[in-house]
Amino acid sequence: MTRVPTAVRLFATPVVVAIALVVLYVAIGKQTDPLSVTALTDAEGATSAHAFDSKVIDALLRHLRLVGISAVLVLLIGIPLGIVLTRTRSKIVSLLLNGIFSAGQAAPVIGVFVLLVAIFDLKGWVPYAGLTLYAVLPVMRNTVEGIRNVDPGLVDAARGQGFSRAQVLTRVELPLAVPIILSGVRTALVLLVGTATLATFINGGGLGNIINDGIKNQRDAVLLTGAVTAALLAVLIDWIAGLAERYMSPKGLRGESA
């Protein structure tokens, strides 16, 4: 069976994304419907515009900001909590943390947003809080799973060499748990890209603004511009996270030939 070259496997995704963006630009970029153009450019009376005019670019940058800040918060919360759960023997603590974040992910994200707005009003941090609550569970659970899957013999060997608990964690358990943790991070990132589109309903901005404009004004060109851009962004971020999962894992755990 012929093996696909590594370069092709690594760069097929960004090439496909780039082609899709070109197709979107050509197919929807030049609008003849003044209402569609106005929705994409915020310019009253506009008669032509590229799909990636200023409003779309601003929405994309805002979307990336929502995802990026929320992702950092997810990592800062999810990984430490996962470590805590592997260190505590209290079932109450485990049930409490799992219950909170399971509820956050099980509930519709729009419901989480509305609940936060009802309690705290339209504060600027509310979209980030809602997205973080929604996406932290995969990272926390994978951190727990990754650490618990470390071979106990390796942990015992490290302790036999005089390693402290902190040293065992940082030098043995966490490095070996990296592939599973990064898998959870990858899942969380894709969740964030998709759910961030709903932040438009609480003035969070992002590509959801473009999608919502297309729905409200019944303009398919506007709707497709926002929806396709969001989908391609999710695919691209998943590809980047996959590269991180591949190359940040310990070499012996990558499952690839040298």
pLDDT tens sequence across 157-187: 888 888 888 888 888 888 889 989 999 999 9
Q: Which domains does the chain have, with CATH numbers?
A: 15-253 (1.10.3720.10)
Report whether pLDDT(84) > 90.
no
Residue 26 has what pLDDT?
A: 81
Query: What's CA 59's distance to the chain center, in Å?
Result: 17
Average pLDDT of span 237-247: 87
State pTM to two decimals: 0.84
